[in-house]
Chains A and B, each alone.
Chain A
Amino acid sequence: AQKVTQAQTEISVVEKEDVTLDCVYETRDTTYYLFWYKQPPSGELVFLIRRNSFDEQNEISGRYSWNFQKSTSSFNFTITASQVVDSAVYFCALLITSGNTPLVFGKGTRLSVIA
């Protein structure tokens, strides 16, 4: 069975601090996709990144960076120089490419950035 664990329920940081959101996943499949989504107070989910299981290259997009490590089954998300607008709930998700299984989400991490 597939599972995604986001151990951090809530994180509070002061503006301009760096913050890392953890994501650990479980799957026996060798081919899968990992995602991060942002859910601002308005409720919709905003796609941030997708990574397939064969691409362990880390990625940086502006203040956002992602560290994918298959050896530890982790796909952590770092926000550098956090801003108040980063305050949201962040979800990590897993989609395997075999069988008939749905997108599996972690329980989310609520990030509060304080001015």
Chain B
Amino acid sequence: DGGITQSPKYLFRKEGQNVTLSCEQNLNHDAMYWYRQDPGQGLRLIYYSQIVNDFQKGDIAEGYSVSREKKESFPLTVTSAQKNPTAFYLCASSTRPWDSTILNTEAFFGQGTRLTVV
């Protein structure tokens, strides 16, 4: 079945350590996104990528890094520079928004990774 997979579901990190969250999709989507959600808060965009080898900062990119070496993968690294990394992280993918031939644009989401700094 096609879908988007995030791993792990729960992740614990010691302060000062970098950690990488995985996001893989087999939907052949060009666009991928990382969002952060804090308790009782909405979704804030960290980074997004519309095509392989290209990505842009979102609203809260500081302390995070990404790569997009393959179409199906968009890993997020939470670096030690991120002062408050404990949160729920959601990855999403969608068809390219500017492709007007695709009538059924939809964004698919992974199940999320809950990161806790201990």
> Can you name the residue of chain A whose Cβ is closest to the Cβ of B43?
A105
* Interface assignment of B2: CB less than 8 Å from any CB of chain A: no
Binds A, one of B11-19, B68-76, B101-109: B101-109
In-complex Cβ contact of B109 among A6, A37, A101, A107 (8 A): A37
| A108/B56 in contact, CB under 8 A | no
* Interface assignment of A60: CB less than 8 Å from any CB of chain B: no
Q: List 25 A-B contacts (CB under 8 A).
A: A33-B105, A42-B111, A43-B88, A43-B111, A44-B109, A47-B106, A47-B107, A91-B43, A93-B107, A95-B97, A95-B107, A96-B97, A97-B99, A98-B97, A100-B50, A102-B31, A102-B33, A102-B48, A102-B56, A102-B58, A103-B107, A105-B43, A106-B42, A107-B42, A108-B43
Q: Which residues of A from 32 to 66 have beta carbons under 8 Å from B?
A: 33, 35, 37, 42-45, 47, 50, 52
Which residues on B sit within 8 Å (CB–CB) of A102?
A: 31, 33, 45, 48, 56, 58
| B94/A95 in contact, CB under 8 A | yes
Q: When A95-B97, A105-B35 are in contact, do A50 and B43 touch as well, CB less than 8 Å?
A: no
Report the bound CA distance from A96 to B42 in whole Å.
20
Report the bound CA distance from A35 to B108 in whole Å.
11
> Can you name the residue of chain A whose Cβ is closest to the Cβ of B110?
A44
Size of interface on A: residues with Cβ below 8 Å to B: 29
| A100/B56 in contact, CB under 8 A | yes
> Can you name the residue of chain A whose Cβ is closest to the Cβ of B112?
A43
CB distance from A13 to the nearest CB of B (A): 19
The interface of chain B, by Cβ under 8 A from chain A, is 31, 33, 35, 40-43, 45, 48, 50, 56, 58, 88, 90, 92, 94, 97-100, 103-112, 114
Which residues on B sit within 8 Å (CB–CB) of A6?
A: 42
Report the bound CA distance from A107 to B107 in whole Å.
17
Which residues on B sit within 8 Å (CB–CB) of A108?
A: 41-43
Which residues on A sit within 8 Å (CB–CB) of B105?
A: 33, 50, 52, 95, 97
| A103/B94 in contact, CB under 8 A | yes
Q: When A43-B111, A43-B112, A43-B114 are in contact, do A103 and B33 touch as well, CB less than 8 Å?
A: yes
